[in-house]
Structure 1
Amino acid sequence: GIGGQNPIRVQTMTNTNTADIEATYNQILRIYKAGADLVRVSVPGQADVEALKQIKQRLVSENILIPVIADIHFNPSLAQAIAPYVDKVRINPGNYVNRSKSAQAKKYSQEEEQQELQDIRKRIAPLLQLCKQHGTAIRIGINFASLSWRMVNKYGNTPLAMVQSAVEFIEICLAEDFQKLIISLKASDIHNTIYANRLFVEEMAKRDWHYPIHVGVTEAGLDLEGRVKSAIGIGSLLCDGIGDTVRVSLTEAPEKEIPVAKEIVNQINNFKVSAYSQNEWKHQPFVYKRRTTNLVNALIGGENPIPYLILSENEKVPEAWEQIFQKTEEISRIDISKSDNVFDIRRKVYENIESEKPVCLVFKVKADVQSQLIRFSLICGNLFTEGLIDGIVFECPENESELAEQMVKAMLQVTGVRRTGNEYISCPSCSRTQFDIEKAAREVKAATHKFKGFKIAVMGCVVNGPGEMQDADYGFVGAGNNKVILYRKGKPITKSISLQEAIQLLLNELVSSTDVNMNNC
């Protein structure tokens, strides 16, 4: 089961061509053996419906008891076709309404808004009745990159728009007497993800709703950065008691997501139980605002960029930091090396709020820095995301200082408190992606790493691709047959071209763009 007193469940999504029954079945088998509790499979066409029916039947016949979720976009009829044969159907409210360019610029009157809601109910009602008949659950999956234009026009590209989109779909489901729901509100930006889920939980409390929530940071990317981003976004919500299922969205093989997700959940379960509750927060939990602090030694506090220090064993502390450490009256140092209570750390930070003393975290690792990646991200990232911390010192063995610095830089980057390089957004891909997105993401990253301060997105298809381009400086969206379209500031600047052509054009753009500081190259 999901929700209630059940454990937090871990899931992932296949990235094979669903119509390739053997490849998809074998990938689900690897996912199952990796320890996933659920698996999601994209269903972009009728051939995929027929394939998934056979895959599900084969799983059951071979006693592979993993619930299967059908992922539907754009075509409600596919949801109805597959609903009797799967355990859950994921629908995206942004795709149940008009996503045309004419709708983008439209100003809705109250009558037009009500008419669109009626149209949505008319389109979704048959699915709800079918799911009720077969005991199939529905996930209402809100994604920041694919909100309806009506929501964007009314609330802006904001967490509030995500919440309102979820609320109106839940109300339609309730009007049709359907309650077997799971809700998700995801974005590639961890702040939007965290704030949208907190706002939604507050809204549910007002309405006495108690629906399970699936949490994740969508398009988290690759390698260390993807893991840090996922741990901070998911972990921050789990620390708040928000989340009944989780998915780590990496641009890697889906079975590689499972150990990361499990470690996040295990770390959260190991944190001491706390009486912490939302009314104890002494900062605004729905928007980012760095707390006001005094400047110490022109290095830490005030409006300075967040400083960090990687300190190897037996290495002398730099003079500037030594002077700071001596000012115990002016700065608070909190050693979090052995802490298993993130709530207690937060309270210690709160003790300094009124005095406006800068807070510096100290994290010490005696060996195996890699093993501390998730724990470090959960504890430190959670606090940096709230704008509560002014500096960090990471003490580690000399031969692991490079990895420690990568971890700290990634944490500062994804929490948005300090730009330490480019930010890369890339989706985990699915059956809709018609090129090797992991290879593409790695090639783009390798080609552009010498630049700094850009947000570059690599997206597999049109579901979230164009939406992610709105918030990226540059990006690629898959256009089928190993082709991509290059975007600049949310607008396409090429037709369908090869990835290598697109990368070269991107490099030309970065070099010649008037907003590039060539010192960053």
Structure 2
Amino acid sequence: MKMMVRIGNVHIGDGSLVLIQSMTNTPTMDTTATVEQCIRLFNAGAELVRITTRNLEEAENLANIRRILREKGYHQPLCADVHFNPAVAETAARLVEKVRINPGNYGTGRPLPPEAYTEEVFLAEQEQIRKNLRSLLAICREHGTALRIGVNHGSLSARMMARYGDTPEGMAESAMEFIRLCREENFHNLVVSMKASNVRIMVYATRLVVQKMKAEGALYPVHLGVTEAGEGEDGRIRSAAGIGTLLAEGIGDTIRVSLTEDPAEEIPVAQHLVKLAEKWKTAGKPEQKAGPGKTSFEPRPVTPLPGHVTALVVADSADGTSPCQTPPDILFLTKPSLLLNLMPGQMYLCDHEAWADLFTDLPLIMPLIPAGHFEHFVTRILPSLPAPSAPAGQPQKSRLTKPHEPASGSQRPIALLASPATLTPIFPLLQNTPSVLIVLQSFSPHPSAEFREALSLMEKSSLRNPVILNLNYATDDADALRIQASAEAAPALIDGLANGIWLRNAGTIAQETVVSAAMGILQACRLRTFRTEYIACPSCGRTLFNIMDVLRKVKEHTHHLSHLKIAVMGCIVNGPGEMADADYGYVGAGPGRVTIYKGKNPVRKNIPEENAIAELIQVIKENSDWMEVPHPGE
């Protein structure tokens, strides 16, 4: 049964519109600053605002913040963000419309070694949680306050870690334990969230908890967000990939885009995602044909292109040169009749008709064959062509200005251009040609649904062809492109069904920006790394330094370390845990103080903030992960 939940003057769940949230980053005791920021967020389009609530003093000040907002005509609901202290949650529940608690640290005992969590100890701690929760639920029921059970990948309790590990299953069970306790008390004004900085884990954990709630007969509203997503291009791509994947499947009742920027910058991204979700609703539910999304990473087996990784980027090129410093894996020749400047060793795609006229003797230029011509090509044309055999380093055509070396082997690489509708009829041909690269395109209002259906059928048919998702847009707004492309490509990529991406845009956005978005999407989906990954929290009232300035400075010094993941965290609440995927971490330890981490281990404790970046660099060097900034041309 789908549950509808009331949060102040709004309702969520059971078909209601997706509600947009944000969070203040002002000190909660600075009433004026917090009220002003709430107003800015509400005016920008936020429909609920969450406020850091660390202690009883801050909890009590929520009454002043709420009162002033009401006096100024703002009646949107407020949410208290509480960690650790049940008494703080109980006070806040009397004063605002919603309280978020974290099962990983709400009323749990002192962490024990994993082997100490016998069944008896596990259940004893559960009983203590029940007692703490029962008191909070009574207050929430009396005041009509909603409760969010907000699980965070970075702060699972020691007992859940001991039983399930640092996994989506552990996150889902952490939430389900609290949900079951609430249901025992006949309390149903619940919202659930599964947040992680790792997009794949966030998606899998959310799918898993939804499956478990359905199995137990009560589907509560779900809040979506990729925590510590960072800022700029990568922050938007990671947020859109995670949130968009789930919205595309009909999962999600409220969303928050967590950016390490001014909180008001989160709202346009969230609004774009909500508009996409409304459009997707008109195109049906993908799970009806493709089945539910995966909850563990089991990629579809493929036959990779020789000499290439299994996660590819394709990009347009008019003259055969790369549009960016890091060349895409495959370049599509948009103007093959031009005098070309082909790069040695670079793989190219070309329209099949131009290829037949110009490039049949060049083995690293693949013909792109429409599905309607594919059978004729592979049964009639391809067998009649001699194997490409030009000697390495020799110009293949007089109009080439650089040598273009042939690929090794005699098998000629070819590519198929198909839509989901035209792909399935030629499955029998593909059974015998597993190395054919499929470029799968969709012009549906819900492309991810079409992609998933076709790719799921390929998986069931044991087809091993690599598949590139081809998405076409016409926009002059780079952020709009990043958000929509991430949301529409990510579902198939996160589940390991597709093997690459080709973004095309008819607007004025520079081709380098389009390619950068494609690379960012593959990285967000954990398929490939192109650049340094920064895990950075969005800042809140707990943050112990100006995280936006610090992140900018850390990037200035480490942007060239593309093999690393570096975390910049404002405080200790989620810091060390959310750095589970990070190689190094910069975490606030106190006012003006920072702790540097190597993995999950603190290696420089409580150092002055002014020395922290130098210490971070030194730790990276000590672990042989430092590289000097390359000079141009190197």
What TM-score does the superposition give when structure 1 sets the normalisation length?
Answer: 0.93
- 1:498 maps to amino acid: P
Displacement of 1:82 after TM fit?
A: 1.8
- 2:183 maps to amino acid: L
User: Is the Cα–Cα contact under 8 Å of residues 361 and 392 in structure 1 kept in the other structure?
Assistant: yes
Displacement of 1:126 after TM fit?
A: 1.2
**Does residue 320 of the first structure (1) align with residue 347 of the second (2)?**
yes
1:27-57 Cα offsets, whole Å, 9 max, x none, are 0000000011100001112221232111111
- 1:49 maps to amino acid: A
Among residues 172, 178, 185, which one is paired with 1:163 in the alignment? 172
User: Is the Cα–Cα contact under 8 Å of residues 483 and 498 in structure 1 kept in the other structure?
Assistant: yes
The corresponding residue for 1:451 is: 561
- Match of 1:271, SS? helix
- 2:528 maps to amino acid: R
Change (3 A) 1:120 1:98: closer
Displacement of 1:256 after TM fit?
A: 1.0
The corresponding residue for 2:271 is: 262
User: Is the Cα–Cα contact under 8 Å of residues 312 and 468 in structure 2 kept in the other structure?
Assistant: no
Displacement of 1:171 after TM fit?
A: 1.4
Displacement of 1:144 after TM fit?
A: 0.7
The corresponding residue for 1:306 is: 311
Displacement of 1:305 after TM fit?
A: 4.1
- Match of 1:285, SS? coil
- 2:22 maps to amino acid: T
Alignment of 1:208-219 (within 5 A): 208-219=217-228
The corresponding residue for 2:207 is: 198
**In the aligned structure 1, how far is the partner of 2:52 from the partner of 2:24?**
8
**In the aligned structure 2, how far is the partner of 1:274 from the partner of 1:365?**
18
Displacement of 1:209 after TM fit?
A: 0.9
**Does residue 49 of the first structure (1) align with residue 80 of the second (2)?**
no
Moved more, 231-240 or 53-62: 53-62
The corresponding residue for 2:339 is: none
Among residues 576, 584, 591, which one is paired with 1:474 in the alignment? 584
**In the aligned structure 2, how far is the partner of 1:12 from the partner of 1:311?**
37
Change (3 A) 1:124 1:391: closer
User: Is the Cα–Cα contact under 8 Å of residues 56 and 87 in structure 2 kept in the other structure?
Assistant: no
**Does residue 109 of the first structure (1) align with residue 118 of the second (2)?**
yes
1:54-83 Cα offsets, whole Å, 9 max, x none, are 111111222201100011111111111121
Q: Hey, which of these two has a bigger chunk of helix by percent?
A: 1
**In the aligned structure 2, how far is the partner of 1:362 from the partner of 1:5?**
31
**In the aligned structure 1, how far is the partner of 2:69 from the partner of 2:509?**
47
**In the aligned structure 1, how far is the partner of 2:556 from the partner of 2:442?**
34
**In the aligned structure 1, how far is the partner of 2:281 from the partner of 2:50?**
32
- Match of 2:348, SS? helix
**Does residue 368 of the first structure (1) align with residue 410 of the second (2)?**
no
Change (3 A) 1:364 1:275: closer
The corresponding residue for 1:247 is: 256
Alignment of 1:261-280 (within 5 A): 261-271=270-280, 273-278=282-287, 280=289
Change (3 A) 1:341 1:399: closer
How many residue pairs match? The answer is 516
The corresponding residue for 1:94 is: 104
Identity %: 37
The corresponding residue for 2:453 is: 347
Moved more, 365-374 or 197-206: 365-374
**In the aligned structure 2, how far is the partner of 1:459 from the partner of 1:60?**
33
- Match of 2:581, SS? coil
Change (3 A) 1:88 1:282: closer
**Does residue 383 of the first structure (1) align with residue 388 of the second (2)?**
no
Among residues 82, 95, 104, which one is paired with 2:92 in the alignment? 82
Displacement of 1:477 after TM fit?
A: 1.3
User: Is the Cα–Cα contact under 8 Å of residues 535 and 567 in structure 2 kept in the other structure?
Assistant: yes
Displacement of 1:480 after TM fit?
A: 2.1
Displacement of 1:235 after TM fit?
A: 0.6
User: Is the Cα–Cα contact under 8 Å of residues 469 and 491 in structure 1 kept in the other structure?
Assistant: no
1:423-461 Cα offsets, whole Å, 9 max, x none, are 111111111112101111111112100112211111111
User: Is the Cα–Cα contact under 8 Å of residues 56 and 86 in structure 1 kept in the other structure?
Assistant: yes
**Does residue 333 of the first structure (1) align with residue 439 of the second (2)?**
yes
Change (3 A) 1:297 1:118: closer
- Match of 2:112, SS? helix
**In the aligned structure 2, how far is the partner of 1:136 from the partner of 1:284?**
33
**Does residue 141 of the first structure (1) align with residue 155 of the second (2)?**
no
Change (3 A) 1:82 1:69: same
**In the aligned structure 1, how far is the partner of 2:114 from the partner of 2:271?**
43
Moved more, 261-270 or 313-322: 313-322
Displacement of 1:200 after TM fit?
A: 0.8
Alignment of 1:430-441 (within 5 A): 430-441=540-551
1:179-231 Cα offsets, whole Å, 9 max, x none, are 11111111111111111111111111111012111111111111110000000
- 1:309 maps to amino acid: V
5+ residue gaps, structure 2, are: 1-10, 321-331, 334-341, 350-364, 369-413, 417-432
5+ residue gaps, structure 1, are: none
**In the aligned structure 2, how far is the partner of 1:96 from the partner of 1:366?**
48
- Match of 1:221, SS? coil
**Does residue 8 of the first structure (1) align with residue 18 of the second (2)?**
yes
**In the aligned structure 2, how far is the partner of 1:276 from the partner of 1:5?**
14
User: Is the Cα–Cα contact under 8 Å of residues 257 and 266 in structure 2 kept in the other structure?
Assistant: yes
**In the aligned structure 1, how far is the partner of 2:133 from the partner of 2:184?**
11
- Match of 1:85, SS? coil
What TM-score does the superposition give when structure 2 sets the normalisation length?
Answer: 0.77
User: Is the Cα–Cα contact under 8 Å of residues 241 and 487 in structure 2 kept in the other structure?
Assistant: yes
**In the aligned structure 1, how far is the partner of 2:197 from the partner of 2:270?**
17
1:278-311 Cα offsets, whole Å, 9 max, x none, are 4644797111132212233544xxxx24221331
The corresponding residue for 2:240 is: 231
Among residues 66, 69, 72, which one is paired with 2:82 in the alignment? 72
Among residues 168, 185, 188, which one is paired with 1:179 in the alignment? 188
**In the aligned structure 2, how far is the partner of 1:505 from the partner of 1:214?**
38
**In the aligned structure 2, how far is the partner of 1:339 from the partner of 1:420?**
30
**In the aligned structure 2, how far is the partner of 1:192 from the partner of 1:247?**
17
**In the aligned structure 1, how far is the partner of 2:225 from the partner of 2:101?**
16
1:5-48 Cα offsets, whole Å, 9 max, x none, are 21000001100000000000000000000011100001112221
- Match of 1:95, SS? coil
**In the aligned structure 2, how far is the partner of 1:207 from the partner of 1:511?**
51
Q: Which has the larger radius of gyration?
A: 2
